[in-house]
Amino acid sequence: MALSDEDVLEGVKQILHEAAGVPVARVRLEKTFAADLEVDSLSMYEVAMMTQERFGVDMPDEDMKSLRTVADLVAYIQRSGVSA
């Protein structure tokens, strides 16, 4: 069974909190990683690694660099066909 967008978002919130110290309440779909959530490139690397571990999504560097918002990451995970 595929995960819902809300399930994926909840996972992304936890990843951003653990990898970059972003308060879960600040993470919303429209937020940008750099400007809004102040996630630096090293933390984004950790986000990619944790995303791969949690969702089984392979995320090459060039793909990670193209993701600007939380919504971009959620959509990327969903396109990768994750399931519960």
pLDDT digits (tens, 9 = 90+) for 30-72: 999 999 999 999 999 999 999 999 999 988 989 999 999 999 9
Token pair 């967008």 in the structure block, residue: 5
Q: Is residue 3 pLDDT above 90, yes or no?
A: no
Cα separation, 11 vs 9, in Å, equals 5
What pLDDT is stored for residue 9 in this prediction? Answer: 97
What pLDDT is stored for residue 84 in this prediction? Answer: 56
In contact, 26 and 70? CB cutoff 8 Å: no
Question: Which residues are tagged catalytic?
Answer: 40
What kind of architecture, by CATH, is found in domain 5-79? Orthogonal Bundle (1.10)
In contact, 29 and 69? CB cutoff 8 Å: yes
Beta bridge partners of 2: 83
What pLDDT is stored for residue 81 in this prediction? Answer: 78
State mean pLDDT over 2-22.
95
This prediction's pTM: 0.92
What pLDDT is stored for residue 83 in this prediction? Answer: 63
